[in-house]
Structure formats: structure tokens, C-alpha cells
Amino acid sequence: MNIKEEMDRLTEELKVYQDKYYKEGISLVSDNEYDRLTDRLIALEQEHPEFQHPDSPTKRVGSDLTNDFPEVRHTIPVLSLDKAYSDEAVLDFFSRSIQKEGGSLSFAAEEKIDGISMVLYYENGILTRAVTRGNGEVGNDVTANIMTIGAVPLSLPENLDIAVRGEVYLNKADFERLNEAEPDEAKKAANPRNLAAGTVRRQKSSEAGRVPLTIFCYEGFWSNKEETPSDHLHILSRLKRLGFRINPHLAFFDSDKEKAERKIAAAGLDGEAYAFSEIDEFIKKKTAERKGLPYEIDGLVFKINELDVRERFGYTEHHPRWAIAYKFEAPQAEAKLKGITVQVGRTGRITPVAEISPTKLGGSTIRRATLHNQEYIEELELAIGDTVSISKRGDVIPAVENVIEKNNEGNTTYHLPPDCPCCHTPIVQIGGLQYCPNYDCPDQVKGRIAYFASTDQMDIETLGPKTVELLYNAGILRSIEDIYNADYTRASDLPGIGEKSIKLLLKGIKESLERPFVTVLSSLGVADIGKKSAEILVKNGFDSMAKILNAVDRNDKEAFASIPGFGELTAERIISSFSSQSLRKTIEELEKAGIHMDVAKDAKEESKEQIFSGEVWCITGSFKNFNPRTKALKEIEKRGGRTVSSVTSKTTHLLAGEGGGSKRAEAERLGVKIVTEDEFMKAIGTEEAKEEGEDGQLFLF
């Protein structure tokens, strides 16, 4: 047997095994034997690509070559569906259609699968292309990835030229399992559709092949019109016989139930028969079933059965006039995508942001929504001018969820510009995300300073993003270390910054010198070192900057990698970040300014300050210097005091601000010491108290 013969034999044999497995769930050989035969065929195909069959079973395994998803033009109209949100609207669609036709009609009803729209093109019975919907005219060629889906026939039992539309999706259980196994929080998908969309666009088809995607096919377009069946039911049964996976949950509507039953049976299909009048029952039943289905559906699709009528009704720019989608839920909010702006974060991460028409959502008006990254835009095939649905994820950040209607301006999928919009350095790709690699990029620098000063970090109250922007532009603040070295007198001329705010700023800066080392560590904005990992580092012996830098300078990857939850990659990133000359200079300067670079220093200061030890404090009223007033509680706790929410006989002090009624009265009744804000300020020894209100009355605790 020569090579070609062996390859032909292996191809045939593996095809039989795959067919049996994917269509009937039956394994004719052991996994080992199957793998051995597959590996042999892969090896032979690599050596002799000229003998590889276009529908080779090895395509199911995928390859490690990089996919680039070229844009290709559709040869059929790939449109979306008109929408209805009530059973009346569906019934109205039925009656309008019947009236327009002036004769009897029947309708197929299918589940609207919440997945990725796909068109499979077959030439001479061989799958030649699988193309995403795109803008309806031009989509992306994702064939290599789609070929890994067992339910997609690589070849047909007849030499047909046909285009088949279907929905690629992932079962809920598979989604849960895969998402749980994903270690990287940022890579977790929001829902099965997102994960399926990401998989369809994986660069390596071998990786796509590891995700158990599947497909339901629901429309067929024969290039030879004579072969086209006369109605939808026969399209479905024909597709089924050709080996396509058809959703078994089919329903069919006619003027009476028996007629509907007869038509389903005539096409050799299984399905539920309904009379038009039963539409509300049907929708109720499906709504109830929805949760129990193994896959996500977001509605029901009603389609005119008769193909000649479909042809007469035709299409609008957006949708066929012969079908309607009933949606279970109206989108939270719909908006038009007016444009996309590009933000540069403190780490250089480039984030595209959707500029949308003002839209009310959850009590506020939204004008912008996150688009995460380029990959997300591609998954949605999002273009300027599209109508999109917006939601608030976790009730905070508005995000673009899906495309509801494609634009009719011919815009295709948006692409990020090649250069950083701030400093014009070419953007680089790291793990599917886009970054500006320029450490001195003004947006990054401003972001780093604002992050360092933010409430959760060094908590320099008056140094918010707006002030940072002003001071940066004036050339006063150009790095984190500048915060402690800058000449702020120059800032008094700036709009919106006066003597008073400079004074407050200086006070905030001085106070920030007391932050513990662990906070300093997470405030530097080093990749992979957030609050949690800074704590872990400190707990694992890296309790001073000197120790960290020492390990970095020894290039001691293991020292970091061996910390639970860190690993090789994090270790590498820590070493690379702390090797940067700019960061080293920042650290040096901060240390000179008196910032804690050692937990030993934290401890020294703590012990100096335990002036409220053994005392029990309650708080009432509002304060000039503590807003929110929980800040005052923190000051008490830092100095060893205990805080309580009501005045009792155990309470030793009541810190009383403006206002405050019943607690003050109770304190007076119980003889609890009442402390004013000024007195408190003096006791904790802040600048302002020393400068002001020197009335000679020193408060003693």
C-alpha cells in the first residue's frame, strides 16, 4: 500500500468512527486506537499535504497554526430578525401576514438559541467555509475552528452547493465547568454566548477543539433553486437527512391543530402542533421550560412555512418580512453606538469605550459603556452605528452586551488604532489585550499618580484624577515621587486650586507618610501586585522593600514563584517590573521622603500612637475634617481605642461634631467625657490643629 492509499484508508476509517460518535454517541474503537490512527494520519498529512482530503477527520482536532479570520463576502443575505415582546405582537404578525397573502399560511416556531450566528458554505458537498454574520454582507472566515465542532458535517452524502445557517453554542453545564476551571479571573466569560464567541475566534483551532461547542441548524439555501424544498418543514427534514443537527423542539402553527399535525408528519418530523389561537399557551409553556433547557435561549422564532410566500414578502434592510422573534425579555436598555474612544490606563492597558446615545438605565443616564478590549469587539462584530443592548454588570459598570441591529451605513467591525491615542507609540498585544508600552506615556503617568493617591491606596484625599491632571499639565507633578518633592506654591495660580486646597493637599500628603508598608507596596501600581498579593508577599517574608529588591536583583524567580497562588508568570512579572530603572528611582525617592518601606517602621509608629488604648469611643454629629465620619473612627482605632455605635455605661468618650442629639444627651446623663472636633484634632496631633485654635486649653485624656 502506498502513502496515498494509506491516507485514503485512514481518512475513511476515521470518518466512520467520527460519524458514529458525533451522531449516535457510539464509540466503535477504543480511545487509544482512535488516537493512534488520528496521530498517524496527522503525521502523514504533514508530510504529504497534497494528499489531504478537504474534509479530513483530522480537522476535528484542529491545528496550532495561527488563524487570521479573513473577511469574506456572504453569498446569501445574512439578516437579523424583527422583534416582538408579547403574544399579541406575535398573533398580530400571523394575522398581518395572512391578510397580506390573502390566503392561508402556516408558521414554524423554533427556539431562538442564544449563541453565535454562523453560515456554513458547502461546495460539491464539501464544507469550504464557515463565516460569521459580520455586518450581514461581510463576515469573518472561521472555518478551521468550526471544523472542530463534531456536529458540523465536513462533507455531505450528496454533491450539493448549499449554504446553511445555524447557531453555534455551548451547553450551560459545559460553560459552568470551563469557566470554573479558568484560573484567570479576567478571562472568565460572562455567559455561554461570550465563551462560545471567544472560542469561535481562537487563534489556534486545536484550542477551539477543546471547547465542546455544538450547533443547531435552522435554514438552508440551495444554489440550485430547483432543489429547494417548498416549505420550511421540508428544509428542516432535508437538512436533517444531510447530517445537520436540527433542534428537536419544533412547534408548528396552523389554522387548526390537525392541519398542523398533518404537515409535521408529512415532512417526516417530530414536533408539537398548535392552532393560531393557542399562541399564548405556547409562549407560556416555552417560558416555563426555558430554565430547564441544557442551553440558553433568549426567545422564540416564528417563520412563515411556505417558501413561495417568503419570496414574495422579501426583506427589509434589516430583517426578513416573513419571520419574527419573540423575545423573553426586553433589553435592559438599547442605544446607538455613536463612536468608540480609546482610553489608556495606568498600566498602559488600552480600553475601548463605547460612546452611546444617552440612555436611561437603572435610574441614571448612560453615555459611555465599556467594551473591554479588541477581542470583545470582534466577538460582537461591533461596528459604529449599530444598535446595541447595554446592561450594568454587577450593577456598576455599564457594558455593551450585544448587537441588536446592525448599522445600515455599511460599517464593518471596529478596529483599535495602531498607535496609543495619547503618546502615539505603537500599541502592542499581550495575551489578547492591547497595551501602550511607553512607561512615560502621559495618560499612564497620570493614572499611576491618581491610583497611588486614591482612597483605597495612599488615601491622599485632595489628590483626585482632576487635580492630578491639572498639576501634571502645569508641569508640577510628573511622577509618583513628585507628590512628595513638588513645589506646590506654583499651583496657587491654577484654576480651581487656591491657598486653602493647597493647604489641604499638603496635609493629606503628610498624613500619607504614615501608611503601612503593605499599602505602599500595592500603591506602586506594579503589575500583579494589588492589595491581596501585597499582603501575601508581606506574609511570606517579603516584609521590606529591601528584601523584595534583593530577590529581584538575584533574579530569584523561585522565591516568588513558590509563594502560594503566585506561580512562574507572576514571579517573572514581579522581577521585570522591579527591575525597571524608573520604578527603582520612584522607590528611592519615596523612601527619602519618609514613606514606609519596611513593616518594622509601621510597628514603630503604631506603638508611639496607642494613646487611646483602653478607651471606648462613640461618635455623633458631623465633622469638618472627617467625611465620611468613619474616618474619625479609624483614627481612634489606629491609636488603640475601641469604637461602639451607641453610648452606654461602658463608653468612656463621645466624639461630638456639629448636630447630634440623643447620644450627647445620653453621654451627659452618664457622665461620659464629651470631646469636640478641635480637641480631638489636637489630641491626635495633626497639622491643622497645631496651626489653628491655639487657645491655650490643652485637652488631657
The residues assigned a catalytic role are 112
Map the footprint of ligand IVH across residues 321-340, applying CB under 6 A. Answer: 323, 325
Nine cell digits for residue 255: 389554522
> Is residue 118 within a helix (H) or strand (E), and if so which, with residue range?
strand 116-123
Binding test (CB under 6 A) with ligand IVH, winner from 29, 72, 79, 611: 79
Residue with smaller CB distance to ligand IVH, 325 or 427 = 325
Residue with smaller CB distance to ligand IVH, 53 or 232 = 232
Provide the CB-side half-sphere exposure for 326 (13 A, CA): 25
Binding test (CB under 6 A) with ligand IVH, winner from 18, 52, 80, 389: 80
| Residue 188-227 contact track with ligand IVH, rule CB under 6 A, x = bound | ------------------------------xx--------
Number of residues this chain uses to bind ligand IVH (CB under 6 A): 15
Residue with smaller CB distance to ligand IVH, 193 or 596 = 193
Q: Using an 8 Å Cβ cutoff, are 90 and 279 in contact?
A: yes
User: Which residue from 263, 294, 259 is spatially nearest to 278, judged by alpha carbons?
Assistant: 259
- What is d(CA 96, CA 309) in angstroms, rounded to the nearest whole number? 13
Map the footprint of ligand IVH across residues 296-325, applying CB under 6 A. Answer: 301, 320, 323, 325
Residue 83 CB, nearest distance to ligand IVH (Å)?
8
Residue with smaller CB distance to ligand IVH, 109 or 656 = 109
Is the alpha carbon torsion for 604, 610, 613, 616 positive or negative?
negative
Binding test (CB under 6 A) with ligand IVH, winner from 45, 55, 141, 167: 167
Residue with smaller CB distance to ligand IVH, 325 or 656 = 325
Residue 274 CB, nearest distance to ligand IVH (Å)?
17
Kindly state whether residue 151 participates in binding ligand IVH, applying the rule CB under 6 A. no
- What is d(CA 545, CA 547) in angstroms, rounded to the nearest whole number? 5
Binding test (CB under 6 A) with ligand IVH, winner from 37, 41, 44, 81: 81
Residue with smaller CB distance to ligand IVH, 119 or 683 = 119
Residue 44 CB, nearest distance to ligand IVH (Å)?
38
Could you give the angle at which helices 581-593 and 567-578 cross, rounded to 10 degrees? 70
Q: Using an 8 Å Cβ cutoff, are 338 and 138 in contact?
A: no
Residue range at the interface with ligand IVH (CB under 6 A); choices 79-87, 122-130, 360-368, 600-608? 79-87
Q: Can you give 347-400 as a three-state secondary structure string?
A: CCEEEEEEEEEEEEECCEEEEEEECCCHHHHHHHCCCCCCEEEEEEECCCEEEE
| Residue 120-139 contact track with ligand IVH, rule CB under 6 A, x = bound | -------------x------
Q: Which residue is nearest to ligand IVH (CB)?
A: 117
Nine cell digits for residue 212: 465542546
Beta carbons within 10 angstroms of residue 450's beta carbon: 21
**Looking at this protein, which amino acid is placed at residue 54?**
P
Residue 386 CB, nearest distance to ligand IVH (Å)?
13
Residue with smaller CB distance to ligand IVH, 323 or 520 = 323
Residue 112 CB, nearest distance to ligand IVH (Å)?
4
Strand partners for 350:
344
* Residue recorded with cell 501585597: 534
Strand partners for 221:
163
- CA 171, 142, 48: angle at the middle one, nearest 5? 115
Residue 438 CB, nearest distance to ligand IVH (Å)?
41
Radius of gyration of the CA atoms of the chain, in A: 33
Residue 276 CB, nearest distance to ligand IVH (Å)?
20
What are the strands of the beta sheet with 653-656, ordered from one edge?
Answer: 642-643, 616-620, 653-656, 673-676
Map the footprint of ligand IVH across residues 98-117, applying CB under 6 A. Answer: 110, 112-113, 117
Q: Please give the residue ranges that form the binding site for ligand IVH (CB under 6 A).
A: 79-81, 110, 112-113, 117, 133, 167, 218-219, 301, 320, 323, 325
